[in-house]
Amino acid sequence: MAKNYVVGVDIGGTNCRAAVIDHSAGKIVARSLNIPSRAMDGEEYTAQQVVEAVRQALDNANITADSLAGIGVAVPGHVVPKEGKILWAPNFHGQWRGVFLAKPISDALKVPVFLGNDANLATLGEYTYGVGKGTNHLAMITLGTGIGGGVIIDGKLLTGSNGGAGELGHMIIAASKTARGGNTIYGTLEGLAQRDAITERAARKIAEGRKTTLLTEKYDRVFLTPQLICDAALAGDAVALETFEETAYFIGLGLASVVAIFNPEMIVIGGGIAQAGAILFDPMIRTTQANSIGTLYESVKIVPASLGDNAGIMGAAALAILESSNS
């Protein structure tokens, strides 16, 4: 008998979330609460928390685990999907290395479990259920605390030789030692355009004595965030606007490389920083066009993501559907 449901799980450094998805309709039917992931305590605790989140979601959907075709889990790290193994998760305690996370979850719930990188699965989510539905060649970049990405080629998620493909945030776009990303390599897109790079860029301008509303008590530089800088930019603050224009320039350079290497139909921009809207997108698109091969740029659309915080969960569900149908 066909099983109509899968569960998507999104694990973060702080919380994990699970949702039951009716894969025939492509819709979430029930969710868990945000449950502490206990990622800093060790993988055995995180596995237990994922199991608890899945059970909560199942209870809220009024179904049992034997109704599931599979469970997909999005993890922020280098994942080997076919082995259910995390090679490296730098944001977790001890920088998880060589952790087999799928097996203890599967053993507890008696359901097949499939792992994927969170940004890769957000890409798969947008491709399957979101703004990329109907395309065959798609790339996605997620802008936030770090910068992740994913690539769909001929309708298939690009995973590489050991699951590590699609790390678009780690493209080197500057030769000088300007900024480091999470892997400590200088000049990466992540190092130049992630959350901390944006706030540090604004803070340097404040330190230079530039006139800006970011100097008011509300915008105390200790508490600078991209959202506060965005609000100031929307109000016309020159320093804030300049900060976003510079950030958009670096992102545009990265997107031009994506256009040249993958020739996608669409590039999806997701993550919290993408919520800045036109003050980011307009200069970003101009830079992409100015630095792209014209005939390649003509065939690509650069668009905001549509699934928001659900992208990882929906992508994890899509992975579960794909893998369970192939097993």
Q: Residues 111-122: pLDDT tens digits?
A: 999 999 999 999
Average pLDDT over residues 209-217: 84
Q: What is the DSSP letter of 84?
A: T
pTM for the full model? 0.94
Percent of the chain with pLDDT strictly greater than 90: 84
Residue 43: half-sphere exposure toward Cβ, Cα within 13 Å? 19
Per-residue tokens: 50: 């994922």
The CA distance from 16 to 18, in Å, is 7
pLDDT at residue 272 in the model: 95
- CA dihedral of 30, 327, 73, 146, whole degrees rounded to 10: -130
Whole-number pLDDT of residue 178: 60
CB 141 within 8 A of CB 149: yes
Q: What's the CATH superfamily of 134-306? A: ATPase, nucleotide binding domain (3.30.420.40)
The domain segmentation of the chain, as residue ranges, is 5-126+310-326, 134-306
Supply the pLDDT for residue 24.
86
| Mean pLDDT over the full length of the chain | 93
Of residues 1 and 318, the one with the higher pLDDT is 318
Contact 141, 267 (CB under 8 A): yes
- What per-residue confidence (pLDDT) applies to 218? 57
Contact at 8 Å (CB) between 235 and 272? Answer: no
pLDDT tier for residue 1 given thresholds of 50, 70 and 90: very low
Percent share of the chain, pLDDT over 70: 94
Q: What is the fold of 5-126+310-326?
A: Nucleotidyltransferase; domain 5 (3.30.420)
Residue 175: the pLDDT is 78
Do the beta carbons of residue 85 and residue 79 sit within 8 Å? yes
Fold agreement (5-126+310-326, 134-306): yes
Phi, psi of 223, deg, nearest 5? -110, 20
Q: Residue 69: pLDDT above 90?
A: yes
pLDDT digits (tens, 9 = 90+) for 225-242: 999 999 999 999 999 999
Q: What pLDDT was estimated at residue 326?
A: 82
Q: What tens digit of pLDDT does each residue of 251-287 get?
A: 999 999 999 999 999 999 999 999 999 999 999 999 9
- Are 20 and 61 a contacting pair, CB within 8 Å? yes
Tens digits of residue pLDDT in 17-66: 999 999 888 899 999 999 999 988 989 999 999 999 999 999 999 999 99
